[in-house]
């Protein structure tokens, strides 16, 4: 279990606790302001990206200290965790509304509107985010990320997530002043700043999933489809046996490789069952 499970889930998976999505947590004024700023200020992504670039140029020891401090701050405010599709289904089973919004990372990195991000709420009709966009909160917001808020049924949202999974994107939950969760994203290295921060700069922005993927060599046909889509570079190919090999120390447990494998050679294990990965978050 990651540290959020201990702090915010009483030893269970914190992102499966409905209380961490509750409207009660939204009575916190600082949290509301943070959400408003998040959806209205394109400059925050630009500033974060340029800070990461500046810190990356520092000497290694200083850089690592700065990254640790930055990760500690982010854990209090806006931090993520990778969650496989079966647990996204569980989350969609207890939230009362799901809305799709434009991805601010892709808006910045690709200069294009990509609708890969979802707001979830225990309240109907988009909850607080819906109220903000409609002006019902008294502080209407607008802008590239809040425009075109699409309300979706659970079934429509799950179909969309299955589609994102087929495109190789991993699913991540995000806090808005921890432990409150109201965002679920679909991330890849190409467009997602949080994944890039991890893979290019070793800056922690999210926890790994509570799972790790393993290959059953007897079932693997050696097609290599899985390795092409792993966003974390965790899958190698062993030419001596013509099989895929997953490095548990690099695996984030997203399950995308499992979906890609038509031979059903990949399964997800609980992280605690894999000694090399059990303490890695």
Crossing angle for the helix pair 60-77 and 43-56, to the nearest 10 degrees: 150
Q: Taking Cα atoms as reference points, which of 110, 71, 73, 90 lies closest to residue 16?
A: 90
Q: State yes or no: residue 266 binds ligand SF4 (CB under 6 A).
A: yes
C-beta neighbour count of 239 within 10 angstroms = 8
CB nearer to ligand SF4: give 140 or 222.
Answer: 222
Q: State yes or no: residue 167 binds ligand SF4 (CB under 6 A).
A: no
Which of 244, 271, 274, 277 contacts ligand SF4 by CB under 6 A?
244
Q: State yes or no: residue 263 binds ligand SF4 (CB under 6 A).
A: yes
Q: Taking Cα atoms as reference points, which of 212, 226, 211 lies closest to residue 265?
A: 226
Q: State yes or no: residue 274 binds ligand SF4 (CB under 6 A).
A: no
Chain residues 221-240 in contact with ligand SF4, contact rule CB under 6 A: 221-226, 230, 232, 234-235
Residue 221 CB, nearest approach to ligand SF4 (Å): 4
C-beta neighbour count of 156 within 10 angstroms = 13
Residues 6+ apart with CB under 8 A from 47: none
Measure CA of the first residue to CA of the last residue in the chain; give whole Å.
9
Binding mask 177-216 for ligand SF4 (x = CB under 6 A): ------------------------------------x-x-
Which parts of this chain interact with ligand SF4 (CB under 6 A)? 213, 215, 220-226, 230, 232, 234-235, 244, 246, 251-257, 260-261, 263, 265-266
């Amino acid at each position: 279990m990651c540290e959020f499970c201990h702090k915010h889930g009483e030893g269970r998976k914190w992102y499966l606790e409905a209380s961490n999505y509750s409207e009660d947590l939204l009575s916190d004024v600082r949290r509301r302001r943070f959400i408003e700023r998040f959806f209205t200020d394109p400059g925050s992504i630009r500033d974060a990206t340029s800070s990461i670039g500046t810190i990356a140029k520092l000497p290694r020891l200083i850089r690592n200290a700065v990254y640790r401090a930055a990760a500690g701050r982010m854990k209090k405010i806006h931090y993520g965790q990778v969650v496989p599709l079966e647990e996204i289904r569980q989350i969609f089973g207890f939230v009362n509304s799901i809305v799709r919004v434009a991805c601010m990372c892709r808006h910045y990195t690709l200069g294009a509107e990509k609708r890969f991000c979802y707001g979830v709420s225990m309240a109907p009709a988009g909850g607080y985010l819906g109220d903000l966009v409609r002006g019902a909160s008294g502080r209407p917001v607008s802008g590239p990320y809040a425009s075109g808020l699409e309300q979706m049924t659970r079934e429509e949202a799950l179909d969309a997530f299955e589609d994102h999974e087929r495109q190789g994107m991993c699913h991540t939950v995000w806090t808005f002043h921890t432990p409150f969760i109201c965002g679920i994203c679909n991330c890849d290295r190409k467009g997602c700043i949080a994944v890039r921060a991890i893979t290019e700069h070793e800056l922690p922005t999210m926890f790994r999933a509570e799972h790790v993927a393993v290959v059953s060599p007897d079932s693997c046909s050696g097609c290599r489809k899985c390795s092409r889509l792993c966003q974390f570079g965790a899958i190698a190919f062993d030419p001596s046996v013509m099989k895929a090999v997953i490095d548990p120390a690099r695996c984030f447990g997203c399950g995308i490789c499992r979906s890609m494998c038509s031979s059903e050679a990949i399964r997800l294990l609980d992280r605690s069952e894999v000694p090399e990965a059990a303490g890695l978050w």
